[in-house]
Amino acid sequence: MGERAMDKESWGRSRASLRITATGRKLLWASYMCSIVLVLQYLAQPASADPVLASSVGFCKPVRLEATAEEKNRSVQCCLPAPRRAIKRFKLPHVHHLRVRRPAHELANDVEYVNKYNLAYERMNALPADDPRSFLRQWHTHCSFCKEAYLQRRLNTSTTGYPLQLHYSWTFLPWHRMLIYFHEKILGSLINDPDFTLPFWNWDNQLDATAGQIPQIFLPYQQSNRWPRQRGRHGRYGKIRNTFLYEGKRRNPNHMPPKVLPLTFDASLEKERANWTHDQIRHANLGQVYEMVYNKVSAREYLGGPYDTNSNFTEAVNVTVGESGGSESLHNTAHEWVGMLNNTAYPDNEDMGVFTYAGRDPIFYSHHANVDRLWNVWKALPDKITPDGHRVRKDYDDYDFLETEFTFYDENADMVIVKVKDTLESNKLGYTYQPMVEADSLWINHKPNGTKPSYKRSDVRVSTSNAIGRHPTSFKLRRHAPTAADLRGTQAQNVQQLSEGVVFEHVRVPELMYVRFDVFLDSPSATAETDEDESAYVGTFTHLPSGVTTVTDLGQKMVHVEDDDMYRTLNIRFSTSLALKRLGVTDWNTDVTVTVVPRFRPHGYGWNIKALTFSCLRQEFT
C-alpha cells in the first residue's frame, strides 16, 4: 500500500494548486474514482496472497536431509553470506542489443564457446566460499530459497513466521528467471564477456535427434588433438576443455546418450518401456509438452497459484499450501531423469533429483533456461482452447504478484532487490532466445491419439472417499456451465474465454516422498500402462522428494513441524477443456469421471503410506 499511499498524498497536494472550475472538478472526480477503483482492486485480492519479500537476510536454518541407517539427524548448511554493502534496488539495464541464448545441442562442437563456458565456471568455482558469486553460493541460493531455509517476509521486512518456498506458486517462473539471469551475468563478468549467454537444454525439441539427450557440453568428449575449423566466427583449432561441466557431477549413468529424455518418464515402468522406439518416445514427448504448455491458457494454469503467506498451520502436519502450474510440473521430469533417484549409494537423490543439490550441477541452469524460454513461447501462443478462441495468454496483472520482491547477488557481489514486475519481459532484461520455430511447431500442432475409452457408465465404480491410493481410483466430478460469478478473479473478458479445469484441493503430500500420478477423464479402466497421449489424458503431477527445516520458537509466531510428520499441502489442477472436446462431451450438465493412476514407488521414503488424502475434488474455471 506504500506506493498507493504516496499516489494519494501527491494527489492531495496537487488539489491545493488547482482552480476549482467545472473542468477541474471533473478532473478531480475522475482521479477520485480511479483511486476508489485501485483501492477496491486491492481489497478484492485474497488476504492470503500478500506481496512477499523473498530475502536471504535474517533467520536461516540448515536444510534437513533424509535420515539414513547410519545417521538419523542429517542436514546441510545452505545459508548465504550477509551483504557487505548497502542493498540496492534492481534497475532494468540499458539494452543496446539483445544477448541471444542458443541451444546446447547446436553448441556442442563450438570449441570457442565450450572452452569459454567451462573457463567461466572454473573461475566461479575458484572464488572464496564467502563470496556470494562463488559456485558454492550459487548452488546454495537455490537450496536455501527452495528448501525453506529462510522465513517469508513482508515488504516491510517483518516475517510472517512461515518458511519461504519458491516452488509451488506463481513465484516459480519469475524467481528462477532471475536466478539464471544473475548467474549468467556473473559468469560473463568472470571472463570479461558482457555478451556471454548460457546455453539452453532444448529437451522439448523432437525435431533434432540429439536435442533431448543430456547435452554433449556436459559430458566428456572423444576428441583428437586438433579439431577441424568450424564454420562461422565461433570455430577455433584446438581441444575442447570442459572438465568442470562433468567431473564430480552425479548423474544417472543409465540415461546417457543416445538415451533421450522421455517427458513421461516413470522409473517404475523403466524396464517395461526400455524397448520403446524413438517414434514412441517422440510422440509421447510431443503430447506431454502439448498438454502442459499449449493446453494452459490462463496464468494460473501455466504459472501456478498465488503465493500463500497466510497458510493455516493449526495442524502440525501442514507445512505450506501451494499450487504448481504446467510449467513447473513439466520441468520436474528432467530433474528426476538426470538425478540419482532411488540409488542407495546416493540417499539424497543428488544432484538434479532433489532441490537441495540441483544447483550443484551446471546442467540445472541450462535446464531452467529452456523452462524460461518456454515461458516466452507460451505467451505468444494463440487461443484454440476456449469457446471464444481469442483469449490472450498473459502473466498475472495482480498487485500482489507484480509487487513481490526477491533478493539476489549480482555480478558485483551486491545484493539487489528485484520486483516481479521487472522480470516479465526477457527483452527488457537484455536477452532473447534463438528461435526454434520448426521444432516448437511440432508440439504446438500435435494431435493426441484419437482413441476414446469404451465403457458402460453403469459399470463404473467411483470412490466416495477423498483418497488417492496405490491403485487406480475413479471419482465423480459434477460440472456446470460457467457463469458471471466464475469470471471473478480471472483475466477472462467473458465466460466464453474461461478455461475449464479440475482441482484436487489440499492434497497432503509427505515432504520426502516421491509422488507421481496421471489423470484421465471418463477413462475408468486406465492403468499404469495406459498411453498418456490418449484423448482422455489431462496431465501428470510429480512431487520430487524434498525437506523442510524444523523451525523453533524465536519469540514470534513460528511453525513447529514434527520430524516424522512433515507434509506439504497442495492444490493440484488439471486443464480439461480440450480433453472434454476430444471426448465429445459438449453438454455442461454432463458429469464425468476423473481417474487417478498412481505411480508411487514400492520402496524409499513413504513406502508404507497407503494413500494421500485431499479435501475435495471440484470443477473450476480460470
pLDDT digits (tens, 9 = 90+) for 185-221: 999 999 999 999 999 999 999 999 999 999 999 999 9
Bigger pLDDT: 364 or 340?
A: 364
Identify the band that residue 226 occupies on the pLDDT scale cut at 50, 70 and 90.
very low
Query: What is the longest distance spanned by two Cα atoms in the chain?
Result: 85
Domain span at residue 412 reads 54-308+321-447+459-621
Rounded CA-CA distance 476/87 in Å is: 53
pLDDT digits (tens, 9 = 90+) for 517-572: 999 999 999 998 888 888 899 999 988 776 433 333 223 333 333 344 567 888 99
pLDDT (mean) for 430-449 = 96
Locus of grid cell 491419439? 449
Length of the chain, in residues: 622
Residue 35 located in a structural domain: no
Q: How far is CA 19 from CA 15, 25, 26, 27, 585, in A?
A: 8, 9, 12, 11, 63
Residue 493 located in a structural domain: yes
Query: Residue 118, Cβ neighbours under 10 Å: how many?
Result: 19
Structural domain count of the chain: 1
Residue in 579, 593, 584 with CA at minimum distance from that of residue 460: 593
In the prediction, which pLDDT does 291 show? 95
Most confident of 13-22, 30-39, 227-236, 399-408: 399-408
In the prediction, which pLDDT does 557 show? 32
In the prediction, which pLDDT does 202 show? 98
Strand order in the sheet with 318-322: 318-322, 567-575, 500-510, 616-621
Bigger pLDDT: 109 or 234?
A: 109
Query: What do you get for the CA distance between the two ends of the chain, in Å?
Result: 26
Q: How far is CA 412 from CA 88, 179, 187, 263, 416, in A?
A: 11, 15, 11, 38, 10
pLDDT digits (tens, 9 = 90+) for 461-490: 889 899 999 999 999 999 999 999 999 999
Residue 28 located in a structural domain: no
Residue 22 located in a structural domain: no
Average pLDDT taken over every residue of the chain: 84
pLDDT digits (tens, 9 = 90+) for 267-309: 777 877 888 899 999 999 999 999 999 999 999 999 999 987 7
Strand 415-419 versus strand 405-409 pairing type = antiparallel
Residue in 64, 66, 204, 63 with CA at minimum distance from that of residue 514: 66
Rounded CA-CA distance 193/445 in Å is: 39
Identify the band that residue 256 occupies on the pLDDT scale cut at 50, 70 and 90.
very high
Q: Is the pTM of this model over 0.95?
A: no
Decide if pLDDT at 316 tops 60: no
Bigger pLDDT: 35 or 349?
A: 349
588 Cβ neighbours under 8 A, 6+ residues apart:
479, 480, 481, 482
Rounded CA-CA distance 183/197 in Å is: 10
Domain CATH number, residue 114:
1.10.1280.10
Decide if pLDDT at 246 tops 90: yes
In the prediction, which pLDDT does 5 show? 35
Interior angle at CA 602, CA 601 and CA 604, nearest 5 = 75
Residue 32 located in a structural domain: no
Residue 16 located in a structural domain: no
pLDDT digits (tens, 9 = 90+) for 596-621: 999 887 666 677 788 899 999 999 99
Task: Kindly state the helix (H) or strand (E) to which residue 91 belongs, with its residue range.
Answer: none
In the prediction, which pLDDT does 476 show? 95
Lowest mean pLDDT, pick from 56-60, 66-70, 172-176: 66-70
In the prediction, which pLDDT does 489 show? 92
In the prediction, which pLDDT does 86 show? 96
Per DSSP, the chain holds a count of helices (H) and strands (E) of 15, 20
In the prediction, which pLDDT does 441 show? 98
Residue 30 located in a structural domain: no
pLDDT (mean) for 231-246 = 73
Residue 5 located in a structural domain: no
Query: Residue 322, Cβ neighbours under 10 Å: how many?
Result: 25
In the prediction, which pLDDT does 25 show? 45
Locus of grid cell 564467502? 130
390 Cβ neighbours under 8 A, 6+ residues apart:
383, 497
In the prediction, which pLDDT does 15 show? 31
Residue in 489, 162, 561, 122 with CA at minimum distance from that of residue 322: 162
C-alpha cell at 611: 494413500
Lowest mean pLDDT, pick from 30-44, 135-149, 511-525, 541-555: 30-44
